[in-house]
Amino acid sequence: MEIISQLLPFVFLIAIMYFVIIRPQQKEAKSRQAMIDALTKGDKVITNGGFIVTIHKLEDNFLSVKINADVTAKITRDSIAKKYEDEA
């Protein structure tokens, strides 16, 4: 009985850490992966570097993106921060 009363605070601490830290991170990672998987040609995205680019071509691990009319670059899917939604 004494062992249970000593372990109870650790169990509560682990439960609190799971619901406050681990579970929200897993949920965010899952929604971010779903957003990246749903990208299509012509979508505007914001890269981790802060550039707003248009997807030109989809590949397995990379995306070809147009920075402007003349410049096309190849970036990894992991470098996408979020999808850009026009406010206009």
Q: What is the DSSP string of 15-79?
A: HHHIIIIIHHHHHHHHHHHHHHHT--TT-EEEETTS-EEEEEEE-SSEEEEESSSS-EEEEEGGG
pLDDT of residue 39: 93
Asked if 54 contacts 46 with a C-beta cutoff of 8 angstroms, the reply is no
Categorize the per-residue pLDDT at 17 as very low, low, confident or very high, splitting at 50, 70 and 90.
Answer: very high
pLDDT band with cut points at 50, 70 and 90 for residue 88: low
- Specify the pTM: 0.73
The one-letter code for the residue type at 75 is I
pLDDT tens sequence across 35-81? 999 999 999 999 999 999 999 999 989 999 999 999 999 999 999 99
Minimal CA–CA distance to 58: which of 35, 40, 32?
Answer: 40
- Single-letter amino acid, residue 10: F
50 dihedral zone (left: phi>0; alpha: psi -120 to 50; beta): left
